[in-house]
Amino acid sequence: MSTQSVFLVGAPGETGKHILNALVDDGSFDVTCFIRTASENKPSTLQLRSRGLKTVPGDLSAPIENLVALLQGVDTVICCMSPMALKDQIPLIDAAVQAGVKRFVPCNFGTPSARGALALRDVMEDIHDHLFRQRLGFTIVDIGFWYQASIPQVPSGRFDEAIFMPVNDVYAGGETPNMLLDARDAGEIAARAVKDQRTLNKRVIAYGEVLSQNEIHEIIEGKTGEKLELNMISDDEARATLKVRKEAFEANPGERSNRFLLAAAQYAITKYVRADNTPENAAYLGYVSARELYPDFKYRRYAEFVDELIAGKIKKPYPEVTVWRPKAKE
Ligand SMILES: NC(=O)c1ccc[n+]([C@@H]2O[C@H](COP(=O)([O-])OP(=O)(O)OC[C@H]3O[C@@H](n4cnc5c(N)ncnc54)[C@H](OP(=O)(O)O)[C@@H]3O)[C@@H](O)[C@H]2O)c1
């Protein structure tokens, strides 16, 4: 089997670590982890090196010749940097074209929607447009919403250690189906997709389950025996919250919490009110389903994930982030 050379941006991140592990476990990739120069001595970088993984320092805002030099001999670039840095993919795309990279996987791994529903998605679509203008080979991978970001708090507090964003607000009567995936499965899907000629110049959608909030609550209440404390939010309330948060963001875009609060309000509308995060919408938008591409893939089930939560085996993503409780009614 020939070795594919992969340049991975964001390897220490929450998505990146699963992609890295899947690429390493696969055994057919030669992986280079791009590390920001400022992060060269961070514990997360030292950990990569202690595993014998190749790291290269650099800066995506460096002159393009530096980036082209880093990408010599690279077949595939995979980006999974933090959402705040998405625009840094533009110079990397330009450099990838010059270096003869065959495939670029932009930083997506989210929910599908048209422009105008989610500011984050709009930036991703700008990046896609740049790829298309350059006619660089691409594979866009979206995965719905993480199981790890779809956990309500339970009254006993037994899930609190695993939750970075509790979801106790219920929208649209809790009935809207949503594609969900265990973040750990995202890595293997990405590794399969970049080895697959069928996914070149395609959008791929992967999901472990399609569940409504009511179905999630039934699973959790059934397994814990606890009655969830939930806040019912009407569509009008969700739209009113979005308006308030949009105004707050426009008045002070530099305030980080304004950006997070706006994103949460936009996700509530796109996921639950508009029902954008569904297999049907993904098919409408032209995605190829990973379920059809890889029928043998064994997805983790949400109920199994809850068993792991109960057993205290799920680690909180973004451990440095203090638990953030969005308030839907404002
Ligand atoms: N579907 C879902 O439910 C879900 C949930 C979460 C995230 N996501 C998506 O997954 C993707 C990755 O997000 P994430 O939360 O996994 O990322 P993250 O954990 O915040 O990853 C941060 C990584 O990006 C690196 N980075 C930050 N700025 C950079 C820059 N300017 N240049 C190069 N590297 C940079 C960081 O490096 P340092 O070590 O230098 O800081 C770190 O390795 C995003 O598209 C996000 O929207 C989806």
pLDDT value at 328 more than 50: no
d(CA 229, CA 221): 11
- CA 321 from centre of chain: 17
In a domain, 31, yes or no: yes
How many folded domains does the chain comprise? 1
How far does the centroid of ligand 1 lie from the alpha carbon of residue 69, in Å? 24
Q: Which domain holds residue 64?
A: 4-144+182-205
The answer to the question of residue 173 being in a domain is: no
CA separation for the pair 151, 166 (Å, rounded): 6
User: For a pocket test of ligand 1, which of 7, 81, 163, 179 has the largest count of ligand atoms closer than 8 A to its C-beta?
Assistant: 81
Q: Which atom of ligand 1 is nearest to the CA of 11?
A: 43
For ligand 1, the distance from its centroid to the CA atom of residue 169, given in whole angstroms, is 26
In a domain, residue 314? The reply is: no
| Residue 323 pLDDT grade (very low, low, confident, very high; cuts 50, 70, 90) | low
The answer to whether residue 53 sits within a structural domain is yes
Residue 325 lies in a domain: no
Residue 201's region, left for phi above 0, alpha for psi from -120 to 50, else beta, is left
Q: How far is the CA of 83 from the centre of ligand 1 (A)?
A: 6
In a domain, 163, yes or no: no
Q: Which single residue is written with the structure tokens 């964001």?
A: 10
Per-residue model confidence (pLDDT) at position 34: 98
Instruction: Give the distance (Å) from ligand 1 centre to CA of residue 309.
Output: 24
- Mutate which of 60, 66, 109 to test ligand 1's pocket (most atoms within 8 Å of Cβ)? 109
pLDDT of 171-217, one tens digit each? 999 999 999 999 999 999 999 999 999 999 999 999 999 999 999 99
Return the closest-CA partner of residue 71 out of 51, 93, 90, 49. Answer: 93
Structure tokens at 317: 């993503």
Listed residue (140, 86, 126, 137) closest to 285, CA to CA: 140
**Ligand 1 centroid to residue 86 C-alpha, Å:** 9
Q: Which two tokens stand for residue 248?
A: 């707050």
Rounded to whole angstroms, the Cα distance separating 161 from 158 reads: 7
CA dihedral 268, 269, 271, 276 (to 10 degrees): -170
Ligand 1 atom with the smallest distance to the CA of 142 is 1
- Helices 119-134, 89-99: crossing angle, 10 deg rounding: 20
Q: Is residue 160 part of a domain?
A: no
Q: Among 73-77, 201-205, 229-233, 252-256, whose mean pLDDT is lowest?
A: 252-256
Residue 317 lies in a domain: no
* Cα atoms in the 13 Å half-sphere on the side-chain side of 253: 3
- The residues with which 233 forms a beta bridge, in sequence order, are 171
Backbone angles phi, psi at 294, to 5 degrees: -130, 70
Model confidence at 2, pLDDT cuts 50, 70, 90, reads confident
In sequence order, what are the residues at sequence separation of 6 or more whose Cβ sits closer than 8 angstroms to the Cβ of residue 291?
206, 207, 297
> Residues of the chain with pLDDT > 90: what percent?
93
Mean pLDDT of the chain: 95
Say how many Å lie between the CA of residue 9 and the centre of ligand 1: 9
pLDDT digits (tens, 9 = 90+) for 220-236: 999 999 999 999 999 99
How remote is the C-alpha of 147 from its chain's centroid? 11
Q: What is the CATH classification number for the domain harbouring 190?
A: 3.40.50.720
Q: How far is the CA of 221 from the centre of ligand 1 (A)?
A: 32
Which of 41, 82, 259 maximizes ligand 1 atoms within 8 Å of its Cβ, making it the mutation to test the pocket?
A: 82
Residue nearest to ligand 1 atom 36, measured at CA: 10
88: its two tokens: 């840094």
Instruction: Name all residues whose Cβ lies below 6 A of ligand 1.
Output: 9-10, 12-16, 36, 39, 42, 44, 60, 80-83, 85, 88, 107-110, 143, 145-146, 149
